[in-house]
Chains A and B, each alone.
Chain A
Amino acid sequence: MSGSFDTATRPGPAATAQPILVDILDLDKYYGSVQVLHGVTLTVRRAEKVVICGPSGSGKSTLVRCINGLETFQAGTVLVDRTDIAQPRELDRIRADIGMVFQQFNLFPHMTVLENCMFAPVWVRKMSRAQARELAMHYLETVRIPDKADRYPGQLSGGQQQRVAIARALAMKPKLMLFDEPTSALDPEMVKEVLDTLVDLAQSGMTMVCVTHEMGFARQVADRLVFMDQGRVVEAGPPAQIFDAPQTDRLRAFLSQML
């Protein structure tokens, strides 16, 4: 009955052997005259789980939104699967291969849960409705919410809506999933059901870039933790290193507030 996250790639024994999927080089981003990203460089390999943390205003959401072109930037490059996302002609095609989950869910309120999950497969992937329905139901089962397929988003709890949003993104069979604070808008009792879904997804081998304040989750799933402050990557490394042997005062100060 229960579906599974069948992604194309399984996590390899050595993550470094995997090809680079996201290649961000020297990214500068301004809002007007305020610089919010300072020469950010970050690579994400296939099947890798990268968790980005940092204080609010550190530019972590902006960085993630640059990966699928929701934000423009003034200098540097972002390559996703070796395609430059700054090429407007390619943007829709690249975006179709990148799943994104937002803090505020952003489900389409006028469509049922099933229609939300079928919309892009039908209109962007040109799948038949029957095929798309099967696919959507598969992922709704994966996020354990198939019984809500005919409900409207407004009739679901926040946690349920966020799981639908994950299913909607997965139905496009993305190469990469971006999460922008996926549990920050949830009531405390609903955080766990969403985090459990993310852990399952991580274990299936999906490539994930996740902005979150959930440090327990970060320690559990991250291959690499990236700490950002004031628009810069301050430290990056495996969770054990970041949590247990922070190199900078800024990270130590951040961790002392979070844990």
Chain B
Amino acid sequence: MTFDISAFFGYLFNDFLLGGVLTTLWLTVAGVIGGLLAGMLIAMLRMSPSRLLAGFARFYIWFFRGTPLLIQLVVIYTGLPQLGVKFGVLESALIGLILNESAYMAEIVRNGFLAIPEGQREAAWALGVPRWLIVLRITLPQAFRLMIAPLGNSVNALLKATSLASVISVEEVMRRSDMLMQEHFQVLEVYAAAAVFYLALTSLWDLVQRWLERRFSRAHVRATPEVGAGAPVLAASLGRVER
């Protein structure tokens, strides 16, 4: 037995597998957006002065970060019907991914907000800016910049974690690779192609993340020294050195 290169390339352009890639992609995108929105809500609850709400958020984060996604998916899809609650395959996958991801996102969002100096809120309060607007326009944009790096890790992890949905028969890349493997027994060729697809998707996300980082750090790029107010200071400091 050898590695069949042409079979490998065949799988790279296999419509059936590429269809699975699309499913993986949209599961990830939906998981990220849903997880981020739910995570923001959980983070707000976690930071709220109400002990009940903060306690609920704390429990939520503890529970969904502390149990495997695999168990969450299986319980939602095959366990809950036992209690009379039924979800379809894709619904189950989305619910599981969003519940799990939002627990991580909540902590990322909270850390971002905690890093904003209190002076930012005070300056806005002193201008008479209402609280909701402070969150929307002052603290959130600044927190988001700090969230991008941990968010990047989380998205990367989620992208690969979607492969767990294959266990509840969601036909994403992993599941369809399994199906092809069982049909043709070209284990290395199929899974190598699947790995290439995941690499391509994570690389795509790297590009998006880099763009986000550039976009949100515009304000933090130091301008090149200019002729103007900076120049006399520079001249003064040079003068001091010469003397």
Contact = CB atoms under 8 A, between A and B. Distances in A.
A and B associate in one complex: yes
Interface of A: 68-70, 92-100, 102, 104, 106-112, 119-120, 123-124, 147-148, 151-155, 157, 160, 165, 168-169, 172, 189
Contact of B228 (A123, A147, A169): A147
29 contacts: A68-B125, A68-B126, A69-B125, A70-B125, A70-B126, A93-B128, A95-B125, A95-B126, A95-B128, A96-B128, A97-B128, A100-B126, A102-B123, A106-B119, A106-B120, A106-B123, A107-B123, A108-B138, A109-B219, A119-B127, A120-B129, A123-B129, A123-B133, A151-B223, A152-B219, A154-B219, A157-B230, A165-B123, A172-B127
Interface string B208-237: 000000001011101100001110010010
Shortest 3 CB-CB contacts between residues of A and residues of B: A96-B128, A106-B123, A100-B126
Given A108-B120, A110-B145, A154 B128 contact: no
A165 to B, nearest CB: 8
A168 B130 CA distance: 17
Contact of A110 (B117, B126, B141, B236): B141
A97 B229 CA distance: 32
B128 A109 contact: no
A69 B125 CA distance: 9
Contact of A70 (B120, B122, B216, B222): B122
Interface residues of B, number: 29
Contacts of A108: 120, 123-124, 138, 142
B243 interface: no
Nearest to A94: B128
Interface of B: 117, 119-120, 122-130, 133, 137-138, 141-142, 145, 216, 218-220, 222-223, 228-230, 233, 236
A157 B119 contact: no
A151 B123 CA distance: 19
B213 to A, nearest CB: 14
Nearest to A156: B229
A106 B142 contact: no
Given A95-B127, A172-B127, A189-B233, A106 B223 contact: no
B128 A124 contact: yes
Nearest to B228: A147
Contact of A120 (B128, B218, B223): B128
A92 B137 contact: no
Given A92-B130, A110-B145, A157-B229, A123 B137 contact: yes
Which of A97, A111, A165 has the most B CB atoms < 10 Å from its CB?
A: A111
Nearest to B230: A157
A119 B119 contact: no
A145 to B, nearest CB: 8
B220 A152 contact: yes
Which of B117, B125, B138, B236 has the most A CB atoms < 10 Å from its CB?
A: B125
Given A109-B220, A152-B219, A189 B142 contact: no
A155 B129 CA distance: 25
Contacts of A147: 228
Contacts of B125: 68-70, 95
